[in-house]
Amino acid sequence: MKFRNILILLIIIFVNGCAEFDNSNSKKINSKLEKKYKNSGFTLIYNENLDIKILNDRSLNIYHKHLKKKSFVKITNPVNGKSLIAEVKSNKIKFSNFYNSVITNRIAETLELNIKEPFIEIVLISKNSTFIAKKAKTFEEEKEIADKAPIDGIKISSLNNEAQDISKKTSNDKFSYSIKVADFYYQKTAQLMIDRIKSETSIKDIKIIQFSKTNYRVLIGPFSDINSLRESFEKMNSLYFENLEILKNV
């Protein structure tokens, strides 16, 4: 009888121990936040003259270099706050690293981008996100309408006219952008990054912006024209940074 009681007690302890182990693991899994991709910069608006794979100009698809195929992203025009949901068509298309994506004219038109400065923000949306759950139906409906639209459903001439109107409205806006290298917890670490950039490139206009005692941002610029911005951006690519961002100075 004693042996039986001891055996039962050992079984209970074992089962409870396993349950606690499973619960602790499940908490670790659930609490592990998915790393969100976010990038602001210039996009490349697709046209037939580009030496890349054809992208349906009426679609809500984009090309991206790092995000997985069929990923959903939220694309925002920071100037007017307009945004939409798009899907990554491919991540194997080669285009300049200066651009964070290739988008369609339909997306550019919907967001009312300034064609001369097509500046956007891209945020990866988790498939489990409630935002996706709410927007998925709308996205599919819009996609279906776009796919069934007549061949001249989106007119480039109309887009260009709108772009000219936008350009007139923003003609007084000064071109001013900076390159965000990274944010650092310690000022010393940020300074080490500046020293590395100066030693390995010819870039000199680098500074540290302090937001708090534990947040130091390394910025390059500002730049008053797109050519100098692109030149410095390409120099930084030689250091193999994964997610350089371009920030609009306001």
Residue 11 lies in a domain: no
Task: Tell me the residue length of the chain.
Answer: 250
Say whether both 194 and 154 belong to one domain. Answer: no
Say whether both 43 and 165 belong to one domain. Answer: yes
Q: What mean pLDDT is predicted for residues 93-100?
A: 94
Amino acid letter, 52 = I
Say whether both 190 and 209 belong to one domain. Answer: yes
Say whether both 127 and 227 belong to one domain. Answer: no
Contact by Cβ (8 Å): 234, 243? no
Say whether both 49 and 128 belong to one domain. Answer: yes
Residue 185 lies in a domain: yes
Q: What is the pLDDT of residue 36?
A: 80
Residue 159, domain extent: 38-169
Spell out the alpha helix ranges (H) of the chain.
2-31, 105-111, 130-148, 156-169, 187-200, 226-237
CA angle, corner 57, sides to 51 and 62, nearest 5? 75
Rounded to whole angstroms, the Cα distance separating 246 from 219 reads 10
- Give the β-pairing of 245-248 and 177-184: antiparallel
Q: What is the DSSP letter of 114?
A: B
Give the domain CATH number at 74.
Answer: 2.40.40.10
- End-to-end Cα, the chain, rounded Å: 81
Say whether both 105 and 165 belong to one domain. Answer: yes
Q: What is the pLDDT of residues 14-60, one digit of tens each?
A: 444 443 334 333 333 232 334 588 999 999 999 988 989 999 999 99
Q: What is the pLDDT of residue 186?
A: 95
Say whether both 80 and 46 belong to one domain. Answer: yes
Q: What is the pTM of this model?
A: 0.70
Q: What is the pLDDT of residues 219-233, one digit of tens each?
A: 999 999 999 999 999
Say whether both 123 and 195 belong to one domain. Answer: no
Q: What mean pLDDT is predicted for residues 91-96?
A: 93
Residue 44 lies in a domain: yes
**DSSP characters over 49-74:** TSSS----TTSSEEE-SSSPTT-EEE
Rounded to whole angstroms, the Cα distance separating 109 from 160 reads 9
**pLDDT over 80 (residue 75):** yes
- What is the SS3 assignment for 131? helix
Give the domain CATH number at 240.
Answer: 3.30.70
Please say which residue of 169, 196, 218 terminates a domain. Answer: 169
Contact by Cβ (8 Å): 232, 203? yes
Residue 165 lies in a domain: yes
Q: What is the pLDDT of residue 239?
A: 84
Say whether both 232 and 147 belong to one domain. Answer: no
Q: Which pair of structure tokens corresponds to residue 97?
A: 């690293």
Say whether both 164 and 224 belong to one domain. Answer: no
Q: How many domains does the chain have?
A: 2
Q: What are the two backbone dihedrals, phi and then psi, of residue 17, each rounded to the nearest 5 degrees?
A: -65, -40
Residue 3 lies in a domain: no
Closest CA to 205 of 170, 186, 177: 177
Q: Which secondary-structure segment (H or E) carries 149?
A: none
Residue 191 lies in a domain: yes
Please say which residue of 169, 195, 222 terminates a domain. Answer: 169
Residue 31 lies in a domain: no
Q: What is the pLDDT of residues 178-220, one digit of tens each?
A: 999 999 999 999 999 999 999 999 998 999 999 999 999 999 9
**pLDDT over 90 (residue 136):** no
Amino acid letter, 37 = Y
* 187 contacts: CB under 8 Å, gap ≥ 6: 208, 210, 216
Q: What is the pLDDT of residue 128?
A: 61
Residue 4 lies in a domain: no
Please say which residue of 142, 169, 196 terminates a domain. Answer: 169
Say whether both 159 and 242 belong to one domain. Answer: no
Say whether both 135 and 58 belong to one domain. Answer: yes
